[in-house]
Amino acid sequence: MQSGREKAYAYLKESVLTDPEMQDRFLSEQEIADRIGVSRTPIREALLLLAAEDLVRLVPKRGAHIAPLSGREISELMEMRALIERFAAERTTREGTAPVTEMAAVLAEQHALRGADSAREFIAADHRFHATLVAAVGNTLMSRQYDALRSRQIRAGVTALYRAGNRQDEVLAEHQEILDHLSAGDGAAACAAIDSHLQATQRILLAA
């Protein structure tokens, strides 16, 4: 059973911080406490944890502020993702362990989630698509580090969808290209497709 702090932390990280509409806003401890049915104390404890991860900024007398992702944060996020995902593509194609069937199932789910009303669910599936590849390496520490990027990844992805009306269709095509190269066992081509995919999202986010 989750403690109040764990419940608050999970809610804030999975539901609040991944919402682009919450960027540049201050969080109301009482509002969040009322929404998830805990006292304000575990909310404060959860916010301290999130501040330690640089996901919120605690401002005296104002509360917790969700700063928009900066250009530097976006660039660093994409750089870190590229390092991990490229390694996973190279390793799994070399060893013949690329999780093609599992990734294809997530991609099919993404196709079913097309539409503005499912933007966050679409990007959550986007994360699972890539995380499935990373998990196939079998390196638990790497998977944990990759999962730590999830909140920023989803927030960036949803923001990109809002800024580019056809981004969902582009993402689906880019994912299919990655999957095709993995299926063919072509690690170099899969890495190039991953780079192209991440660079496309980065260009959209940095264009604003």
Express each pLDDT in 59-91 by its tens digit: 988 888 988 888 999 999 999 999 999 999 999
Residues found in the chain: 208
d(CA 80, CA 154): 15
Residue 208's pLDDT is 58
How many helices (H) does the chain have, and how many strands (E)?
Answer: 10, 3
- Which amino acid, 163? R
User: Which amino acid type is present at position 73?
Assistant: E
Side chain identity at residue 178, one-letter code: I
The mean pLDDT of 181-195, rounded to a whole number, is 98
